[in-house]
Amino acid sequence: MSSEALLAVEGVSKRFGGLVANQDVTLRLERGEIRGLIGPNGAGKTTLINLISGEESPSAGEVRLEGRSLLGIPPFQRARRGLLRTFQVPRLFGTMTVRENLLLPYLALGGRDRRAGRRRSDELLERSGLARLAEEPARHLSGGQQALLQLVAGFMCDGLRCYLLDEPFAGVNPLIKETMIDLIRDHNRRWSTVFLIVSHEMPVIRELCSRVTVLAAGRVLFEGTMEEVARSREVVDAYLGREWTP
């Protein structure tokens, strides 16, 4: 049992009509791991996140969390097992305040003690620099602040085991980006939370992730450390050469 990865994606495929968005993807994340998921636009990264979080169901293969299959388990139950995600285009509860956006996952995931929830939200508001916006409706935030709030909301969850982040840094200013990186790293150190981070920002991925998986045309093209990825002719040709120099 202990040899089982915390999150295991086993031979997962996803077809949309004739289009193959994911093909035979296998991915195993160990407890405490921060994994990068990179690949060109349309490679199938978001689709893979959707398959893991349950918004889409795979045409073949399966996803397991702590050794238990997630087949047929709806997203809200996956969340209750400690599997959360963010969306590429930030999704928030627009008419609710920033604080309510934080308290909501706390309540939804079984938090009963309102005072404890309040304390945690205070702490996260402080650390994320959103404190002075606490009573603002979320729809009034800037794009970067929304991305930050979306990320931070997941940290309100007590049993967060695995957090899937779909391009969390896109369109985010350097200051907020630093805050996000700190929060992710801190949560990972403290609770051994697994992160799977989709990003085009190689410096950030290099800073955060011990290993990266490269997806291209729906398949896993490569998996290894950032250095190995940079050395791989295949990957550089397929993708990185244009945007990134090691």
Partner 1 sequence: MRRQHLALAVVALAGAAAIPWGMDDYALGVVTIGFYYAVLAASWNLLAGYTGQFSLAQQGFAALGAYATGLSIRDLGVPIWLGILLAAAVSCGMGLALGLLTLRLRAIYLAITTWGFAETVHITLTAGYQVTRGELGLSVPTLLGNLDPLSYYYVFLGLLAVSLAVLYLVCHSRIGQFLRAIRDDELRAASLGIDTTRWKLFVFALSSLLTGLAGACYAHYVAVIGPDMADFSELAKIVVMVVIGGMGTFAGPVLGALLVQLLTSYLGQFGAWDNVLFALVVIVLMRTYREGLVALGRRLWRRLMAWMHPRVEVAARG
Ligand X SMILES: Nc1ncnc2c1ncn2[C@@H]1O[C@H](COP(=O)(O)OP(=O)(O)OP(=O)(O)O)[C@@H](O)[C@H]1O
Distance of CA 87 to the CA centre of its chain: 8
Q: Which is nearer to ligand X, 55 or 122 (CB)?
A: 55
**Residue 96 or 131: which CB sits closer to partner 1?**
96
Binding mask 87-126 for ligand X (x = CB under 6 A): -x--------------------------------------
Strands of the 162-166 sheet, one edge to the other: 83-85, 162-166, 194-198, 34-38, 211-216, 219-224
Say if CB 144 and CB 176 are below 8 A apart.
yes
Residue 92 interacts with which of partner 1, ligand X, Mg ion, none, CB < 5 to 8 Å by class: partner 1
Q: How far is the CB of 56 from ligand X (least distance, A)?
A: 7
Buried b (16+ CB within 10 A) or exposed e, 190-215: eeebbbbbbbbbbebbbebbebbbbb
Question: Shortest distance, CB of residue 74 to partner 1, whole angstroms?
Answer: 7
| DSSP class per residue in 180-218 | HHHHHHHHHHHH--EEEEE-S-HHHHHHH-SEEEEEETT
Binding mask 28-57 for ligand X (x = CB under 6 A): -----------x-xxxxxxx----------
* Nearest residue (CB) to ligand X, 51 versus 102: 51
Which positions ≥6 away from 89 have C-beta within 8 Å? none
Chain residues that interact with ligand X, rule: CB under 6 A: 16, 19, 21, 39, 41-47, 88
Chain residues that interact with partner 1, rule: CB under 8 A: 53, 55, 74-76, 79-80, 84-85, 87, 91-96, 100, 103-105, 107-110, 153, 157
